Amino acid sequence: MSVTSQSVADLRHRALPMNASHPQGDSYAHRLLEATERFAELPALQWKEAGEWQCITFAELERRVIACGLALSNRGITKGDRVAIWLDNGWSWIVCDLAAQLIGAVTTTIYHTLIPSQAASLLRDSEAKAVLSNQQRLAGLITDYDLAIAVFSEDEGKIGECFATVIEESKRALEAQPDIAQHLRMPPVGPDDLSALFYTSGTTGDPKGVMLTHANLLANTDNTISQLLTEREKTILLHLPLAHVMARNTTVSGTLLSGGRLVIAEPAREKLIANLADVSPHGFPTVPLLLDKFTELSMAAIRSKGFVMRSLALLALKRCRQPRLAAIRDGGPVGEVRLGSINRLLDRIVLQKIREKMGRNLVLVVTGGANSNRTSIEFFWGIGIPVYEGYGATELTCTAALTFPKAMKPGTVGQSVPGVEIKLASDGEVLVRGPIVMKGYWQRPEETAQVLDADGWYHTGDIGTLDEDGYLTIVDRKREILVLSTGKNVAPQAVENALKSTPFVISACAIGDRRRFTAALVVPDLGAIGRSLDLAETPSVDDLCVTEVMRKALATGMSGLSNFERIKRFTLVADPFSQDNGLLTPTLKLQRRKIAEKFVPEIEDLYAESPKRAINVQYD
């Protein structure tokens, strides 16, 4: 079903008031039904299919969600059952998730980047009763997991039922029996019922299911709407994976429940800039890495210009940047930006062209998941695109602190959102309490008790500072988790264990916090390598034969990890990590901070454009 040609603005003007048949509910499902009725004729979801943009209204979205709810119910899925989704972003992911909420089931998220054995582990842990995926993933899954559950496939094939076909069949059944649809419009859920399980890595790499309730989700969503989505005429571009809390619990829920249009970007990252230009969204939630990439590309394009145009562009950046940054320097509401006549001309000639690469309407970029690069943040503000940073965690539904138009201070991740308390422990650890804090870890009471204290404070594992105005700055990490600049969490011990599973590694230290990809410092067993090659003498770390043996061995050792966990580069270190050199604790654990301090040149080389010693790993 496509959106009619009638003016969207007019439809918004005629949007129904809160309807008595669906009073504001206390669950995500109730609020969804309220939104689909209130904004029935407005565009809800848009995506690209076979090269063409498709769009459905809120009314059609509701029809698909109710049809999916019927299909799940007919296959024995009831309140509290887990429904797993292992897919790239798409309309079917969102419809299945919303349908699970409708019948009181619990959406279980599986990152699309996980390999089949990892997905099978999550299905077993969650005891899922249904799974939505595609033929390729399902084919890999059946070697590790007995699919004795309801199985839906995004595409047609031999495994499971085709999801789109099931939806259409269920829609026809509902048309013949409208009383069933009316029954499904009365969700059997309340605020304390589980909405979703989000799996996150622990320090050992064992996945833990974070239990988030409907109350958690609505608290996070309401804060998103009140602080960022204050105007209804919003088009938001979604490119973060829906298995990420920022996508599902903020972008999707905030956009749909406020009557906005949610546009799903094409999966291929290289098409993102083209999608931004096509869609011209008002808002764009993303991770710091994407901001860094756009900044790098823009500056590279400027540097490639001739002398006159390059000088003009640099002048425009310098002159317009200063008044725009001055408007956000001191905290509080974003001030008025006053560009003089010359600066307005420079902005129109130069900076407007840069802005238009991300569409003509972009007024809101929100980022989180990793510390941001100040250069990139200031570049965006300087060209006239506001960027707001947030802080949170999967265990906090998404957002605990946020900079937003009424409270902005550069260099911080903002003040606590409404209803949420933030304080610092004696060692500087950030503690959070409020309605966004998870219910606990799925079937892991001991691990829940390690991070949730008796007073309801969640211990984040991050070290921070709070200024006199309550603005939070994250300065370090207490827990051994690497947060890539893509927003992905990597458990370093899992990577290191995979590296040490090969016969040629004595020890290793995974690197990657706030970086683009995972890498490692590796101490090779030169004696073992020499013996494997029948060498008369023990080789050195600089020998080409050592490089080739290690490259192949590490690629094999990484095969059990997902793509973002696998190291992309490594550097060989001759001397083992030990207590004598201060790089191991008395209990033989890595002194990560000391390793990072000692190997600064090597670590920088791992991420250089043209590395001198770092070695690339090639995977089949």
Q: What is the DSSP string of 283-311?
A: EEEE-HHHHHHHHHHHHHHHHTS-HHHHH
Contacts of 245 (CB under 8 A, 6+ apart): 198, 212, 392, 394, 397, 398
Confidence (pLDDT) at 108: 98
Residue ranges and CATH numbers for the domains of the chain are 8-190+232-281 (3.40.50.12780), 491-616 (3.30.300.30)
Between vectors from CA 396 to CA 199 and to CA 432, what angle results, nearest 5°?
140
Q: Which two tokens stand for residue 560?
A: 């059990």
Strand order in the sheet with 150-153: 161-162, 150-153, 130-133, 82-85, 106-109, 194-201, 207-213, 440-441
Confidence (pLDDT) at 233: 64
- pLDDT tens for 113-127 read 888 998 999 999 999
Is a pLDDT exceeding 50 seen at residue 594? yes
Confidence (pLDDT) at 229: 86
Question: Average pLDDT over the chain, rounded to whole?
Answer: 89
Query: How many CB atoms neighbour CB 309 within 10 A?
Result: 13
Q: Give the predicted TM-score (pTM) of the model.
A: 0.82
Helix, strand or coil for residue 204?
Answer: coil
Residue type, 583: L
Confidence (pLDDT) at 371: 67
Confidence (pLDDT) at 12: 35
Is a pLDDT exceeding 90 seen at residue 262? yes
User: Higher pLDDT residue, 436 or 490?
Assistant: 436
Q: What's the chain's Rg over C-alpha atoms?
A: 26
Average pLDDT over residues 312-325: 93
- Confidence category of residue 4, pLDDT binned at 50, 70, 90: very low
- pLDDT tens for 265-299 read 999 888 999 999 999 999 999 988 788 889 988 99
Is a pLDDT exceeding 60 seen at residue 19? no
Q: Estimate the share of the chain in helix, then strand, then coil, as percent rounded to the nearest 5.
A: 40, 20, 40
Is a pLDDT exceeding 50 seen at residue 1? no
Is the sign of the CA dihedral 596, 605, 527, 558 positive or negative? positive
